[in-house]
Chain A
Amino acid sequence: MSAETVWIVGIEMTPFGKHVDSDQVDLGTRAAKDALCDADLAMTDIQVLGAGTMFGPINLGQRLQKQLGQTGIPVYNVQNACATGASALRTVYTTIRSGEAEVGLAVGVEKLSTAGMLGTGAPERRDTGVFTPAGRDGAVMATEGLLGTGTMPGIFAQVGMEYLGRHGRNLVEHFYKIAAKNHGHSVLNPLSHHRKPFSIEEIKNATTIAYPNTVLMCSANTDGAAAAVLVSESRLRRLPLATQRRAVKISASVLRTDPWTPEVGVLPDVNTCTRQAAAQAYELAGVGPDDLGLIELHDCFATAELLHYDNLGLFEPGGAGDFLDSGAPYRDGRIPVNVSGGLQSKGHPIGATGIANIYEVATHLRGEAGERQIAGAKVGLTHVLGLGSTCSVHILERAVTG
């Protein structure tokens, strides 16, 4: 017996921004209730819950149940770096594919608006003048900045510059253009944390965080949540026709981690797992890059977006700058990328990001994206990358039901 196709029948996200008076449970509950309402289903219909947060409370799923309904269903609490939300959704997806459940709910949430820089490498150690080897590598003091960097800005600066080094026709200016594109896109998105366009000169001249990324080229620290209701094919056919017409097919749901490569001991590999995940997703869905109507990819830094054009196989290797210069990833281009504003402008509440990306693409496929609607979008791709590394790619398709 082949596994059933899985469909999204409800999906919502909170506005991303500063939610001073709401905690993670408040935000997650709000997104979940909205997704259930969108699906016209109740918590009593849900047979499995996946709950993702990176820095939020332990047992988030059970805490959400206490606000949504304690029905005794299985709960999976998921933490998987920046792929946390996508992994929570995929946990529900695989449970339905296995036949264990027909209806499931995935929720991702984070509060980061007051967070500082993430990923500061080795734990801080006070240098007392006594140098005692400690830890796995016998470090005698904090190594950050002295022996490479574990900071997100530092790593994504390096991987961006490494790409320019490998493919000489790509320029630092391409990174500035990407940030300008995404900030420009967010102006049309009412759920985006920031909605202010910036010129390339403003982006270039903003405070440098880690060259070449300036403060306007880094993902915005944000609070928010997103949630999705998934059902099996057979359950979908028992739902009202109006629900079936708005359903979005999950044609591929892929999760990959790094294979070992010699370079990974020096610099985290953010490319290989994305390349492998994308290739697997295209094969599973039976589509190729030319079929995509829009993409939401993991632009945690402007440098990352340029790499991922290439990693998603949108052109021959090395051509990311040419792809950008052609206008293809702009909202009026051939394959619009990050029309939501992306992580740089919409924001990046880590646990929510993977489901929010799916929300964005699903909303366009339903034809419900309002002013920012990409006309005629039938197939879309979402991508998230958690450093360490783990990558999730989803390919979504519009329902063809009459």
Chain B
Amino acid sequence: MSVELDQISKLVNELIKMGFEEAAAKATLSNVVMTKIANSSVSVVQNWRRVTVDLYLAKERRIFVLRFEPKSFEELYKPVESILSMSRTVEESPIYAPLPEPSKIKYVEEVYDKSIVSGMEDIGRLAERVIEVAHRERIDSVAGMLQIGEAKTVLATSKGALLEERKTFLQSYLRAFAEPDGSGQWCFTSTSLDVKGLESMAFTASRYAVDSRNRSDIEPGVYDIILSPMVFGNLLEYIVSMATGFAVIMGWSMFMKNKPGDRVASEHLTVLDEPRNRELPNFRSFDDEALETFNKPIIENGVLKTLLHNTKTAKALNASSTANAGWISPEPWNIVVKPGNTSLDEMISEVRRGILITNNWYTRLQNYVEGIFSTVARDAIFYIENGRIVKPVSKLRIADKFTNILNNIEMIEKSLYNIQWWEVSTPSKIPYVLIRNINTSKHVI
């Protein structure tokens, strides 16, 4: 099934003829290949070719969102008819707002790297390269994944928008193991076939694996903590997902208690949503409501500047859309932290008693509104004393509040790293950060 502008436009016209007052349709054609690596070998080669069609339908302020993977556009009419009859029973949505009039779209300069498309048959060679680079250090094995692909999106709305965008992407992460107990993990994401970025990722993972061998236990307690971009990226993704209008409305947000203009973080921290950053795979020129996207600070110098909105959440919370639709729930496109002016070494030198955590997983919250959470540090963790790394240490948890994480940030590195992996799904550019006085915990028996 092909995905063309005239087809999607015709579909929207038909949906209006069927009796809906508003309709939007988004079709995405994607072609992706992934090599999964375990024990320095390939464990599976996965390939996907799929067409998805997402529909937004509204009638008398009732809202419906549908997703299909059809063989043809004509196939959609029958299930849509059943939605039409359903609209007579469902009541008005409390967050209803009409689709916006289309704005003039200035396109992000396209990144469509033909070497990614032509390299799909040859991804094995690329996988071999990253495994080989990782093994230049004295590691025992490496696991991870390498994925490349292309996607094309077309969007039409009953307000007259008709838009199209395509892109290519590369994502990869590796976890290296060095006997007896060393491990290190790093990732990379890009819109082009950046082999140097992949090699740097492999090197970092292996270096951390080698450096974290022969770990000691340390007592849990309050420490100054340096978080790597992997860890800070994970925590920021949770925080930014709570900085959406929908999360606030639904009671899943620590920002329920805040308004734009409130101080929510240290003055050192600025976090942006950057849909127009063409280095990161979620770049896009328009959102699902056909509004032109723009880069914007969510937190600027510690102050909450805006929640992320579509027209519905914006209306409900008396704000303006930030072009982050999602028809129901707005979402961040690419998360970027404004770089600071320090280096990792300078940061370490500022720590009297602390820990450098390079990776984490399994972040869970006791209470979203209060931002109470814990997360498990994994892979290379280093104890810092009097300004220098003293020894690698074994796993422990960060167990604190997101408000403390945000408020206690003291230093931000000047370099940014392209982060996206299993625990950070939104493409991000993140630095190392130093956070003072953070609580850690560990099993007691």
Tell me, yes or no, whether A binds B: no
Binding site for A on B (CB under 8 A): none
